[in-house]
């Protein structure tokens, strides 16, 4: 099968051209990280592809080569910024920070997705750009490897959630730990499922009144005549399974 990821989409744009992509929009915890990369089209590592399509060993090997032969940078939006802005605008903020951190102004920027950050630079959004455009794919590798390493470091600070392997995504292991251990400062409380998991663990306090010694614990005869009880059947639909 021919590789779709190439320079074909980039040939109509002036250089230096930067590709931009992010990693970490969907996880329950941790920051969102964006990568920006300007490739030298005469000297670049072979095998660049969407980071999601690469096994971890290949991704790490390509990252090691990219940081030596390209202009690159990362931008990070914190959990606090995600909860304050929402994940969409935090993603845009991280991508803008990545391009600003390049240290040079690209003539054009190609962004993975359907929208570009609100900046004053020539740019174009490309849906599934990380699978079509080599510069965006390179940025996706930089973003993914950087974020994975951040989450592995955070896993040592907050053990038990499995971040060293699930990277903060909502795996069964992560959900069980969230219910058992509670949320960390790195959990995104603005995410409905995280909020529901936290609120679901809050049980109402039960208040018991002590029966006085003068009160009989024997059953009391009702003060009214018995009323015929008509039994009815209620069919309650089960809630849909979590995605």
Which pLDDT belongs to residue 60? 98
Q: Which residues, in sequence order, are CB contacts of 95 under 8 Å at separation 6+?
A: 20, 21, 22, 34, 36, 75, 111, 117
Residue given tokens 């409905």 in the structure block = 192
Residue 37 pLDDT level (bands cut at 50, 70, 90): very high
Cα gap 177→161, rounded to integer Å: 5
Burial class from Cβ neighbours inside 10 Å (0-12, 13-18, 19+) for residue 178 reads buried
111 contacts 124 by C-beta, under 8 angstroms: yes
Q: Report the share of the chain in percent with pLDDT over 70.
A: 81
Q: Give residue 201's pLDDT.
A: 57
Cross-strand partners of 72? 37
Q: What is the pLDDT of residue 3?
A: 55
Question: CA-to-CA distance for 235 and 70, rounded, in angstroms?
Answer: 62
Q: Which among 117, 130, 55, 119 has a CA at the least distance from the CA of 88?
A: 117
pLDDT at 182 over 60: yes
Each residue's pLDDT tens digit, 187-206: 999 999 899 888 875 544 44
CA-to-CA distance for 144 and 137, rounded, in angstroms? 10
- 58-108 pLDDT, tens digit per residue, is 999 999 999 999 999 999 999 999 999 999 999 999 999 999 999 999 999
* pLDDT recorded at residue 202: 54
pTM beyond 0.75: the answer is yes
> If you average pLDDT over every residue of the chain, what do you get?
86
- Contact residues for 67 (Cβ-Cβ < 8 A; gap 6+): 142
Q: What tokens were used for 236?
A: 């309650």
Name the nearest CA neighbour of 38 among 128, 89, 94, 101: 101
Is the pLDDT at 111 greater than 50? The verdict is yes
**Tokens 């790490």 sit at which residue?**
60
Specify the residue for token string 């390493």. 149
Confidence band, pLDDT 50/70/90 cuts, at residue 4: confident
Q: How many residues does the chain have?
A: 243
The CATH architecture that domain 8-196 belongs to is 2-Layer Sandwich (3.30)
* 218: pLDDT strictly greater than 90: no
pLDDT digits (tens, 9 = 90+) for 134-177: 999 999 999 999 999 999 999 999 999 999 999 999 999 999 99
Domain boundaries, given as residue ranges, for the chain: 8-196
| Cα atoms found within 13 Å of the Cα of residue 163, Cβ hemisphere only | 26
> What CA–CA distance (Å, rounded) separates 63 from 41?
16
């Amino acid at each position: 099968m021919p590789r779709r990821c190439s320079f074909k989409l980039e040939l109509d744009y002036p250089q230096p051209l930067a590709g931009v992509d992010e990693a970490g929009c969907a996880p329950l915890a941790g920051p969102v990280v964006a990568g920006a990369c300007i490739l030298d089209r005469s000297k670049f590592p072979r095998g660049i592809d969407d980071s999601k399509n690469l096994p971890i060993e290949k991704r790490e090997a390509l990252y090691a080569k990219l940081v030596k032969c390209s202009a690159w940078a990362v931008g990070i939006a914190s959990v606090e910024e995600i909860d304050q802005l929402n994940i969409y605008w935090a993603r845009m903020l991280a991508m803008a920070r990545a391009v600003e951190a390049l240290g040079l102004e690209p003539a054009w920027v190609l962004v993975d997705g359907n929208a570009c950050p609100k900046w004053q630079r020539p740019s174009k959004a490309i849906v599934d750009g990380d699978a079509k455009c080599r510069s965006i794919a390179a940025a996706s590798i930089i973003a993914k490897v950087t974020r994975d390493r951040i989450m592995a470091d955070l896993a040592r600070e907050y053990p038990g959630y499995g971040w060293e392997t699930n990277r903060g995504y909502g795996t069964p292991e992560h959900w069980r730990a969230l219910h058992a251990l509670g949320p960390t400062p790195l959990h995104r409380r603005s995410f409905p499922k995280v909020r529901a998991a936290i609120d679901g663990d809050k049980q109402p306090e039960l208040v018991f009144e002590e029966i006085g010694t003068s009160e009989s614990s024997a059953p009391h005869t009702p003060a009214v005549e018995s009323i015929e009880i008509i039994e009815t059947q209620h069919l309650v639909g089960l809630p849909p399974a979590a995605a």
